[in-house]
C-alpha cells in the first residue's frame, strides 16, 4: 500500500510538471501577443496568471521535498525528483520573463512600435517550441529529444542578434525613439533568456535519463 502511494505521488509530480509547462507556454504566447497587439488587458492577464504558476511551482517543490524526506528514493526515481525540483525553478523563471514582456506592453501605453514585430514573435514561437519539446522529453524520458531541442537555441540566439542589430539601426536613424526601441531590446533579451532556460530543461532531462551532467549552453 505504501509503495502504491509512493508511485502515485511520483506520477502526480510528473503530471504537475507537464501542467506547469503548459501554463508557462500559454503565458509566453499571450505576453508576446499582448505586445504585438498593444493589448494592455491581455498583458495584465499574463501578470495575474503568473501567481498561479508560482503557486503550482511551490506545490511541486513541496512534493519533491516530501518524497525525498519520507520515501528515500534511489537511482532513477531520485534523479526524477531532483529533475522536477530543478525544472520547476526554470519554468517559474520563464514565466517571470513573460511577465516582464507583459509589463513592457503596459509601459508602452499604446504607443505604436517603431516597426512591425516580426522576428520577436518568431523568437517566441521558437522558444515555445523548445519548451514543448523539452517537456515532452521529460514525459518520455527521451534524452535524444532533449539534445535535439537544445540545438534550436542557436536559432533563438541568431534571431536575437538580428533583432538587436535592426533596432540599433533604427536608433541611429531616429534617437527620439529611444524609449520604444529600448523596450523592444529588453523584450528580445527576455526571449533569449527564455530560450536559455529551455536549454536548462533539456540538460535536466538528460541528467534524469542518463545520470550525466551536461552543459549545452
Q: Go through the domains of the chain in sequence order and give each one's CATH number.
A: 2-210 (1.20.58.220)
Q: How many H helices and E strands in the chain?
A: 7, 0
pLDDT at position 207 is 97
* Angle, alpha carbons 24-96-20 (nearest 5°): 25
63 — phi, psi (to 5°)? -65, -40
pLDDT tens digits along 35-51 = 999 999 999 999 999 99
pLDDT at position 146 is 98
Quick one: which of 210, 183, 197 has its CA closest to 89?
197
Cell numbers that stand for 210 in this block: 542518463
pTM: 0.94
- One pLDDT digit (tens) per residue for the chain, 217 residues: 466 888 899 999 999 999 999 999 999 999 999 999 999 999 999 999 999 999 999 999 999 999 999 888 888 899 999 999 999 999 999 999 999 999 999 999 889 999 889 999 999 999 999 999 999 999 999 999 999 999 999 999 999 999 999 999 999 988 888 999 999 999 999 999 999 999 999 999 999 999 999 999 8
CA atoms of 23 and 11, how far apart (whole Å): 19
CA atoms of 23 and 94, how far apart (whole Å): 11
CA atoms of 95 and 89, how far apart (whole Å): 10
Amino acid at each position: 500500500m505504501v509503495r502504491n502511494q509512493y508511485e502515485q505521488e511520483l506520477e502526480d509530480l510528473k503530471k504537475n510538471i507537464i501542467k506547469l509547462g503548459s501554463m508557462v507556454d500559454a503565458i509566453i504566447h499571450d505576453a508576446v501577443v499582448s505586445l504585438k497587439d498593444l493589448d494592455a488587458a491581455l498583458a495584465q492577464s499574463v501578470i495575474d496568471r503568473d501567481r498561479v504558476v508560482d503557486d503550482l511551482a511551490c506545490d511541486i517543490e513541496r512534493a519533491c521535498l516530501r518524497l525525498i524526506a519520507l520515501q528515500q528514493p534511489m537511482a532513477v526515481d531520485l534523479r526524477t525528483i531532483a529533475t522536477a525540483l530543478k525544472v520547476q525553478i526554470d519554468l517559474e523563471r520563464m514565466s517571470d520573463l513573460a511577465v516582464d514582456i507583459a509589463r513592457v506592453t503596459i509601459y508602452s501605453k499604446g504607443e505604436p512600435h517603431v516597426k512591425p514585430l516580426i522576428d520577436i514573435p518568431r523568437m517566441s514561437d521558437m522558444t515555445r517550441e523548445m519548451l514543448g519539446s523539452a517537456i515532452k522529453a521529460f514525459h518520455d524520458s527521451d534524452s535524444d529529444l532533449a539534445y535535439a531541442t537544445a540545438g534550436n537555441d542557436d536559432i533563438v540566439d541568431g534571431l536575437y542578434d538580428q533583432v538587436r542589430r535592426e533596432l540599433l539601426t533604427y536608433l541611429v536613424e531616429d534617437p527620439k525613439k529611444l524609449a520604444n526601441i529600448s523596450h523592444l531590446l529588453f523584450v528580445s533579451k527576455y526571449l533569449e533568456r527564455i530560450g536559455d532556460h529551455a536549454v536548462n530543461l533539456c540538460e535536466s532531462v538528460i541528467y534524469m535519463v542518463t545520470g550525466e551532467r551536461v552543459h549545452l549552453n
